[in-house]
Structure 1
Amino acid sequence: MHFGYARVSAKDQHLDTQLDQLTAAGVDRLFQEKISGATTQRPVLTELLATLRAGDTVTVARLNRLGRNSAHIMQVVADLHERQVRFVALDLGIDTATPAGRLVLGIFAALAEYDRESIRERATGVLLNK
């Protein structure tokens, strides 16, 4: 199955553009959510993840719609990979079924790890300076 996931952060925002892009990409079933990206509790994303089986595909119109930050996005994508679920982000041309897509995703993972470590260093430095 080919699933699409679309999310906007506010109730007054529209999903139309994302839904059009996902439909054009040939998704079989769309999951739509209107919830802040800052929250970790996303019922529709949780439902989508519970639905997936090995060999399925998850497509998003924009990578940043998948998670609250780069670390969260990379965790979700890593979980998909572990479950043998293909991931596609239309805006960046990421497709984990291709070597180039996996390379780009690896670069994003490295950047997310760097970001986490930088935040940790700043937080530790702030604590040490007090």
Structure 2
Amino acid sequence: MIFGYARVSTNAQDLATQIGQLEAAGCERILHDKLSGLNTDRPQLRKLLAAVSHGDTVIIPATDRLSRDTADLLTIARDLRAAGIGLRSLAEPILDTTNELADVVLAVLGLAAKLEHKRLRERTTAGRAKAKADGVRFGPKPKLTPHQQREAVRRRDIDGESPASIGRSFNVSRQTIARLKLGGSSI
């Protein structure tokens, strides 16, 4: 059986063009979602993947309609291939796992997913570095305000009050008070 899958990102968008393309390609059953491609939980795609069986083919209008993430696309393509199900894209004829080039196609998708993952890590690292340079503090929010920290350090270091007693008054642990440093916080 030949299945089709179409997707648009919002309810305001129209599926008619994609459905027309899939019908023209010979799809006997077409399922479609109106969700962002970044959302990996697409009910109709899940239904499609459960309905297909060995020997079937899934046709998509374009790869970004199936998934906007290369790694997700690769996973779907590999799962379909392992189950003996072909995958074809109308807009990208290279994506056709129904012919003898299927291994090459999956290798290229795998390489693209690996490169995409590397670029994502690089962008994340650069974003974190910029945020740190801009003064963004990572980690949990301090349990005590700067004023409370100064007060706790004064009470501990100058007045000689025990960290447990100070901690109870600020509703924090003894260890939180003990970790405070003079002139700055370590929490």
Choose 66-75 or 39-48, whichever is displaced more. 66-75
Contact preservation (8 Å) 1:40, 1:68: no
Query: CA shift at 1:122, angstroms?
Result: 4.7
Unmatched 5+ stretches in structure 1: none
Determine if the alignment matches structure 1 residue 87 to structure 2 residue 87.
Answer: yes
Determine if the alignment matches structure 1 residue 18 to structure 2 residue 36.
Answer: no
Contact preservation (8 Å) 2:7, 2:32: yes
**Equivalent pairs, count:** 130
**CA pair 19-102 structure 1, distance change in 2 beyond 3 A:** farther
Contact preservation (8 Å) 2:77, 2:87: yes
Relative to the length of structure 2, the TM-score reads 0.63
Which residue pairs with 1:57 in the alignment?
57
Give, in whole Å, the separation in 2 of the partners of 1:45 and 1:62. 14
**CA pair 118-13 structure 1, distance change in 2 beyond 3 A:** same
Give, in whole Å, the separation in 2 of the partners of 1:123 and 1:78. 27
CA RMSD, Structure 1 to Structure 2 (Å): 1.9
Give, in whole Å, the separation in 2 of the partners of 1:15 and 1:126. 36
Larger radius of gyration: 2
Structure with the larger RCO, 1 or 2 (CA within 8 Å, 6+ apart): 1
Choose 49-58 or 107-116, whichever is displaced more. 107-116
Give, in whole Å, the separation in 2 of the partners of 1:101 and 1:92. 14
Give, in whole Å, the separation in 2 of the partners of 1:122 and 1:34. 29
Instruction: Letter of the 2:75 partner, please give it.
Output: Q
Query: CA shift at 1:100, angstroms?
Result: 3.8
Query: CA shift at 1:37, angstroms?
Result: 1.3
Which residue pairs with 1:116 in the alignment?
117
Relative to the length of structure 1, the TM-score reads 0.88
Unmatched 5+ stretches in structure 2: 133-187
**CA pair 124-34 structure 1, distance change in 2 beyond 3 A:** same
Instruction: Letter of the 1:2 partner, please give it.
Output: I
Which residue pairs with 1:29 in the alignment?
29
Structure number having the greater strand percentage: 1
Contact preservation (8 Å) 2:11, 2:34: yes
Deviations along 1:5-44, whole A, 9 cap, x unmatched? 0000010000111111100100110101111112121100
Deviations along 1:64-114, whole A, 9 cap, x unmatched? 110131111111111111111000001011211223454244223211111
Which residue pairs with 2:170 in the alignment?
none
Which residue pairs with 1:74 in the alignment?
74
